[in-house]
Amino acid sequence: MLSRPFISLYVAVFVATMGISMVSPLLPVYAKELGASGVWLGLTFSIFAVVQAIVGPFAGRLSDRYGRKPFIVAGLLIYMVAAVGYLTAQSFAQVIAFRAFSGLGTSFVFSVARAYVGDMTPPGQEGRWLGAFATADIIGFGTGPLIAGILRQEVGFRSVFVAMALLLAFSALIIAMWLPRQIPRHGRAGPARQEPRVQMSFADALRDPLVLALTVHFGLLALASGASFSFLALRLEDGLHAAPIMIGLAFATQDLTGGVAQPFWGRIADRYDRRPLVAVGLILNAALLVALGFVPTYTLAVLMLLGMGGAGALSNVAASAIQVVAGRRAGMGTVLGLGSAGNGIGIVLGSVVGGLLVDLSGIPAAFLFGGLVMAAGVPFFLWLTRGLATKETVAGLDAAPSAAGGS
């Protein structure tokens, strides 16, 4: 697993996610200083997800046709240009435009990098590989705000964007130098194989119940998260009177727990039926999310987040492993791209619905809604995937591989 391609992709995704988490808390402040208010402040967050939802599927599908590496390098460079662009912005409209441009860049990085890892993954080890790779996201999101806070305090506001641009440039160089254009066979030494050339339309891919189930699953998960976690900081500060440093620690608790649990759950997902693992993780996560909106103390809120980190890692790694199986028969980039679209749409809709609920009934209503949405996705996922194989073996006994996966 720890091959040069895997490590270089891990670095790319880690840097991209760290870049998002470094600037996301700063951009609304930056835009407000330039005169933004109301819906314009909201756009500094949501426009990123809008672009990712639109571009992500096409980036994944095109990478099935033309190869993964060019898209990943281009995405990192686009994201780097956006980071530099923030430094030149003279109005909040320009900040929003560069935020959209960065969404274009990450659309080329996230789903395509995961598709490359999926191509390398040996049949039967999807959970182990995707569980290890997913820690790049979690650690990146966890460390980004910390680095941004230190830089902003010690060097200055604009240093965050400079550091982000330098990291992205370094990551693009690593990918250009280390990542083979032809994907290594299952991540082991030996002759490389041609990247997938299967071309499948989105409509045809979504006719596969497994692809449809996964796309809806990631969309509903993002809807629940967007509706609730947009207000977690307010819940902790206004509702539970937590100090800023305690709020940061609460966010880190979930990220670190998920990061530690992800590789462990990945091995479990390779040994047992993945469908009930997705369901159990979602149900536990949903219950804890609802409780998070109503617990009376900060300590209990942290315990809820601790449990959500573990439960979320369980459902995520099992679903990601199933994505690889679906990608082998419907096009790895296409399947990962559709999942990215579902995630982007869910975040945008969730933040809007959550905001309306908070205005009508208060912050706890957003957490209740998020938990109910997450729980509602369980029977839908189990029904769509009934009778379908969610694993493959090397011999292809559990699910016959197709040309789409290149296995």
pLDDT of residue 399: 43
> How far is residue 313's CA from residue 346's CA, in Å, rounded to a whole number?
19
* Residue 55 reports pLDDT greater than 60: yes
Cβ pair 24, 230 in contact under 8 A: no
Work out the pLDDT band at 379, boundaries 50, 70, 90: very high
Question: Residues 147, 216: one domain?
Answer: no
pTM: 0.80
> How far is residue 389's CA from residue 61's CA, in Å, rounded to a whole number?
23
Measured in whole angstroms, how far is the alpha carbon of residue 114 from the centre of its chain? 10
Question: Residues 120, 41: one domain?
Answer: yes
What are the residues facing 183 on neighbouring strands? 193
Burial 143-152 (b: 16+ CB within 10 A, else e): bbbebbbebb
Q: Domain with 130 in it: what CATH number?
A: 1.20.1250.20
Residue 185 per-residue DSSP state: G
Give the residue from 138, 160, 184 where a domain finishes.
184
Residue 191 lies inside a defined structural domain of this protein:
no
Among 64-68, 246-250, 303-307, name the most confident range.
303-307
Residue 127 lies inside a defined structural domain of this protein:
yes
Cβ pair 206, 341 in contact under 8 A: no
Show Cβ contacts of residue 313 under 8 Å, excluding neighbours closer than 6 positions: 131, 134, 257, 258, 259, 261, 262, 265, 281
What are the residues facing 47 on neighbouring strands? none
Give the residue from 184, 207, 242 where a domain finishes.
184
pLDDT higher at 40 or 55? 55
pLDDT of residue 28: 66
Question: Residues 224, 357: one domain?
Answer: yes
Question: Residues 212, 304: one domain?
Answer: yes
pLDDT of residue 405: 36
Q: How many domains does the chain have?
A: 2
Backbone angles phi, psi at 160, to 5 degrees: -65, -45
Work out the pLDDT band at 31, boundaries 50, 70, 90: confident
pLDDT of residue 239: 83
Q: What would the two tokens of residue 320 be? A: 């990601």
Q: What would the two tokens of residue 20 be? A: 């998002």
Residue 134 lies inside a defined structural domain of this protein:
yes
pLDDT of residue 157: 74
Question: Residues 119, 233: one domain?
Answer: no
In angstroms, the first-to-last Cα distance of the chain is: 17
Mean pLDDT of 193-206: 68
Question: Residues 241, 341: one domain?
Answer: yes
Question: Residues 380, 337: one domain?
Answer: yes
Question: Residues 109, 249: one domain?
Answer: no
Question: Residues 241, 371: one domain?
Answer: yes
**Coil, strand or helix at 183:** strand
pLDDT of residue 190: 42
Question: Residues 203, 350: one domain?
Answer: yes
Mean pLDDT of 42-66: 83
> How far is residue 68's CA from residue 110's CA, in Å, rounded to a whole number?
11
Residue 327 lies inside a defined structural domain of this protein:
yes
Residue 100 lies inside a defined structural domain of this protein:
yes
Question: Residues 148, 241: one domain?
Answer: no
pLDDT of residue 186: 53
Q: Which amino acid is at 220?
A: L
- Domain with 356, as residue range(s), is 199-390
35: alpha, beta or left? (left if phi > 0; alpha if psi -120 to 50): left
Residue 396 lies inside a defined structural domain of this protein:
no
Give the residue from 152, 184, 216 where a domain finishes.
184
Residue 401 lies inside a defined structural domain of this protein:
no
Task: Spell out the long-range contacts of 96-101 with Cβ–Cβ below 8 A and sequence spacing 24 or more.
Answer: 96/31, 96/36, 96/40, 96/43, 96/44, 96/47, 99/27, 99/43, 99/44, 99/47, 99/48, 100/47, 100/48, 100/50, 100/51
Residue 192 lies inside a defined structural domain of this protein:
no
Measured in whole angstroms, how far is the alpha carbon of residue 139 from the centre of its chain? 12
Question: Residues 366, 282: one domain?
Answer: yes
**Coil, strand or helix at 269:** helix
